[in-house]
């Protein structure tokens, strides 16, 4: 990896660390999820980073992809199992990390299982390891706690301006001989649950990403498309970032047109299929003989 690129990954990671520490301190009953998300995203910008994706603040059986909506009133409460997933980029080079907290509890078995599985992954990951080996390791560690991995979620490679690259390392074992290469950058995330261990798409969709520009009919659709091309590029963006483009009804019609025309792709919230609690742990890893964890001091 070129020195300049490594420095950008490390800078993004440093910002991510600082923002993550701040976010953890804010998790208290009574905090509005919208206020927290806006503070986190503002801090990323203030520290010189770019927002790689809308901050995910997913509660309880929602495993991922919940970011607050415009005027969202959702508030944290005692007992919530909160996942906070933060993405920072520097010139498109991404640091992606997540943590979980059970409000009002000192510990939680789901969080312990996710964190331990991630730690064991970090200890074992080296160039030449296979997806088979590493997915089995995740599954074995998680199940040793008497809980289940979320099998249709996965760690993933990170590429320039691309949050989900071509490599996937599922939380459940798959017999793949694909090798993990030197210099690959992974957003390795582990999800755990007491439930069935699968997620399904839920609603409402609050995160979108540009696929390709195409002609669209609505004026609001054209405004969203221009904003996506100029500002968001190939990174995900939040519906709440589009506030002011039009009325609530017209904004929803415009987003529907863009999705129907295959200009945008949707990322709906992912809910555990048996409605069970989920936990998440994630760090960004540069795969070397001595791996670099950019999101950890």
Q: Which helix (H) or strand (E) holds 187?
A: strand 185-193
173 is catalytic: no
Spatial distance between the Cα atoms of 206 and 4, rounded to a whole number of angstroms: 34
To the query of whether residue 85 is one of the catalytic residues in this protein, the response is yes
How far apart are alpha carbons 243 and 258 in whole angstroms? 16
Two tokens, residue 256: 């529907």
What's the DSSP call for residue 179?
A: B
Catalytic residue among 160, 164, 179, 196: 164
- Other Cβ atoms closer than 10 A to 132: 16
Establish whether 116 is a catalytic residue: no
State how far the Cα of 57 lies from the Cα of 259, in Å rounded to an integer.
24
* Identified catalytic residue from 69, 115, 139, 282: 282
Q: Of 80, 85, 220, 272, which is the active-site residue?
A: 85
* Alpha-helical segments (H) within the chain: 3-26, 33-46, 109-124, 131-144, 219-227, 248-260
Q: Is 194 a known active-site residue?
A: no
Chain-centre distance for alpha carbon 46: 21
Give me the catalytic one of 156, 220, 257, 272.
156
Q: How far apart are alpha carbons 26 and 29 in whole angstroms?
A: 9
DSSP letter at 296 equals -
* Residue 164 among the catalytic residues: yes
Q: Which of 189, 220, 257, 283 is catalytic?
A: 189
What does the block give as tokens for 208? 């979108």
Q: Work out the number of other CB atoms within 10 angstroms of the CB of residue 2.
A: 8
69, 96, 139, 283: which one is catalytic? 96
For the annotated catalytic residues, the residue numbers are 85, 96, 156, 164, 189, 282
């Amino acid at each position: 990896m070129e020195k300049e690129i490594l420095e950008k990954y490390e800078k993004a990671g440093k910002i991510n660390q600082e923002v993550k520490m701040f976010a953890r301190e804010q998790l208290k009953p009574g905090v509005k999820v919208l206020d927290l998300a806006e503070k986190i995203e503002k801090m990323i910008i203030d520290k010189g980073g770019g927002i790689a994706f809308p901050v995910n603040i997913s509660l309880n059986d929602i495993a991922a992809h919940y970011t607050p909506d415009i005027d969202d009133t959702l508030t944290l409460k005692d007992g919530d199992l909160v996942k906070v997933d933060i993405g920072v980029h520097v010139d498109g080079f991404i640091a992606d990390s997540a943590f979980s907290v059970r409000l009002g509890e000192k510990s939680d078995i789901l969080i312990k299982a996710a964190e331990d599985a991630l730690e064991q992954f970090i200890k074992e990951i080296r160039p030449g390891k296979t997806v088979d080996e590493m997915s089995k390791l995740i599954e074995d560690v998680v199940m040793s706690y008497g809980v289940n991995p979320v099998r249709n979620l996965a760690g993933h490679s990170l590429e320039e301006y691309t949050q989900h690259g071509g490599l996937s390392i599922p939380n459940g074992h798959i017999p793949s001989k694909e090798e993990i290469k030197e210099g690959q950058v992974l957003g390795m995330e582990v999800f755990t649950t007491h439930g069935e261990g699968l997620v399904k798409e839920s609603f409402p969709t609050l995160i979108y990403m540009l696929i390709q520009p195409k002609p669209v009919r609505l004026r609001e659709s054209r405004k969203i498309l221009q904003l996506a091309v100029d500002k968001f590029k190939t990174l995900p963006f939040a519906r709440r970032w589009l506030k002011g483009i039009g009325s609530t009804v017209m904004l929803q019609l415009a987003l529907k047109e863009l999705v129907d025309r295959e200009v945008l792709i949707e990322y709906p919230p992912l809910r555990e299929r048996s409605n069970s609690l989920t936990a998440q742990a994630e760090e960004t890893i540069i795969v070397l003989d001595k791996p670099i964890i950019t999101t950890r001091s």
